[in-house]
Amino acid sequence: MKDEQSISPSHGLTRQMQVYLQGLQGQRPSLPVSPDVLEQRAVEQLSLEASGYLAGMDDTMRANLEAFQRWRIVPRMLRDVSQRQLSTSILKMQLPVPLLLAPIGVQSIIHPEAELAVARAAHSTNVPMILSTASSRTLEEVALALGDTQRWFQLYWSKNPDLNASFVRRAEQAGYGAIVVTLDTLLLSWREQDIQNAYLPFLLGEGLANYFSDPVFRQALLQPPEENPVTAVRYFTDIFLNPSLTWEQLGFLRQHTSLPIFLKGILHPDDACKAIDIGMDGIIVSNHGGRQVGGAIAALDALPAIAQAVNKQLPLLFDSGIRRGSDILKALALGAQAVLLGRPYIWGLALEGEQGVQTVLQNILADLDLTLALSGYSSISQLDSSTLVNAQPVH
Ligand SMILES: Cc1cc2nc3c(=O)[nH]c(=O)nc-3n(C[C@H](O)[C@H](O)[C@H](O)COP(=O)(O)O)c2cc1C
Ligand SMILES: CC(C)CC(=O)C(=O)O
């Protein structure tokens, strides 16, 4: 059972009233409601190094946000929207809302409770969490904090096949319901701020909890990471980057798990078709929040052609640039079945820990619920390309 914070069908109205009633008692929301102000406040709170790492790269990130601005919702009137349906199902998984928490590594640089705070907020709101391989807490600890909340495990495919198999085995044992293989980070991009700050958290041993706790990883070392962290970090850097990975090798994963496999980082329709051909279970259209290829296509701009190519043959998810309810609605209208929320929940974590993540989730879902209703839809399943118009800016 979830607590009273979990999302109900009339969540938008309930949340709005709750905030206004608190206002009557002289209480304003402590966390900024506007995503822009939220980001700004989080940046002020974090060290230069952590905020630079979180930001990543500017150019593609800006393109992601601009792409959302070009699509506009065309609201329809008088269609009885008193009951709203936000739930969806992906393969055999029932999602209460079309939203999951994107895998974000190294959360210890943001807040001391890191992924545990996020997991507790995911649990109280009943929003599924995708845990990064590069988490600061082990996948088993996070599973415990999540309780019965749905969880998926994101896999960074290292050069050590036994380690990859071990991660997948551990994820299965800890109740993760899907494996998300991230394809766009086989090398780290040229991140100007991190290079300027001479900062890479992994070199300081941050974000390596799953590695340091893994029997295969430990076996490859002469001394355990607790005794010789420098060598352990060096071994991590030796195996993490894996630019020789090819489509053929994905078959290895199939042999090692019966869990559904999602590929994250697809931006070309031909790659989406390849994923179908080799028997993958789902696709996440994403440009990693603009953090990997500077000058890349905005993820939202890639979505319509991929949705057309996939033609509902497998579930299509989306991330990169989701900031408010209308963004979720737009991505669903363009063919995504659900979206992943990235940085906004981390800004909440930076400012107010578990409570901050919970508030960010409640706000964006309230916004989605109200935007859906005001646009004339009683269910997210009614959204399609006719919901939107592409309004190119006039120069
Ligand atoms: C600080 C940071 C760390 C991330 N770490 C991972 C990761 O470990 N694995 C992964 O697949 N994606 C990672 N991502 C990418 C997110 O999963 C997601 O694709 C991206 O944040 C979505 O864009 P948005 O932040 O604009 O919503 C990371 C993103 C950020 C901001
Ligand atoms: C390099 C990863 C371990 C973390 C990540 O995906 C990111 O920083 O974007």
Q: What's the chain's average pLDDT?
A: 96
Over residues 207-233, the pLDDT tens digits come to 999 999 999 999 999 999 999 999 999
Does some domain include residue 68? Answer: yes
- Active-site option among 11, 111, 123, 288: 288
User: Looking at residue 85, what is its pLDDT?
Assistant: 94
Over residues 83-123, the pLDDT tens digits come to 999 999 999 899 999 999 999 999 999 999 999 999 999 99
User: Looking at residue 392, what is its pLDDT?
Assistant: 79
DSSP bridge partners of 284: 264, 317
Q: How would residue 394 be classed by pLDDT, with cut points 50, 70 and 90?
A: low
Alpha carbon nearest to ligand 2 atom 5, residue: 105
Checking if the pLDDT of 7 tops 80, the result is: no
Does some domain include residue 251? Answer: yes
Whole-angstrom Cα distance, residue 331 to residue 201? 32
Pocket test for ligand 1, best of 291, 323, 340 (most atoms within 8 A of CB): 291
CB 284 within 8 A of CB 181: no
User: Looking at residue 10, what is its pLDDT?
Assistant: 77
Q: How would residue 5 be classed by pLDDT, with cut points 50, 70 and 90?
A: low
User: Looking at residue 290, what is its pLDDT?
Assistant: 98
288 has catalytic annotation = yes
Over residues 50-80, the pLDDT tens digits come to 999 999 999 999 999 999 999 999 999 999 9
User: Looking at residue 4, what is its pLDDT?
Assistant: 45
User: Looking at residue 3, what is its pLDDT?
Assistant: 46
Element (H, E) at 309: helix 299-310
User: Looking at residue 69, what is its pLDDT?
Assistant: 98
The percent of residues above 70 in pLDDT, for the chain, comes to: 97
Does some domain include residue 67? Answer: yes
**Ligand 1 near 67 CB (within 6 A):** no
Give the count of domains, the chain. Answer: 1
For 104, the domain range is 11-387
Tokens 């601005």, located at residue: 69
Whole-angstrom Cα distance, residue 165 to residue 143? 19
User: Looking at residue 395, what is its pLDDT?
Assistant: 61
**Ligand 2 near 105 CB (within 6 A):** yes
What ipTM, to 2 d.p.?
A: 0.99
Does some domain include residue 6? Answer: no
Tell me the pairing of strands 93-95 and 88-90: antiparallel
Over residues 170-190, the pLDDT tens digits come to 999 999 999 999 999 999 999
| Tokens representing residue 51 in the block | 């905020």
Does some domain include residue 102? Answer: yes
Mean pLDDT across the stretch 157-167? 98
User: Looking at residue 393, what is its pLDDT?
Assistant: 62
Among 7-11, 237-241, 321-325, 355-359, the least confident range: 7-11
Does some domain include residue 395? Answer: no
User: Looking at residue 94, what is its pLDDT?
Assistant: 95
Over residues 309-335, the pLDDT tens digits come to 999 999 999 999 999 999 999 999 999
Checking if the pLDDT of 9 tops 80, the result is: no
Backbone phi and psi for residue 390, each to the nearest 5 degrees, phi listed first: -90, 105
Does some domain include residue 140? Answer: yes
User: Looking at residue 1, what is its pLDDT?
Assistant: 39
Tell me the CATH number at 53: 3.20.20.70
Tokens 């206004």, located at residue: 20
What Rg, from alpha-carbon coordinates, does the chain have? 20
Pocket test for ligand 2, best of 57, 104, 240 (most atoms within 8 A of CB): 104
The percent of residues above 90 in pLDDT, for the chain, comes to: 96
Does some domain include residue 393? Answer: no
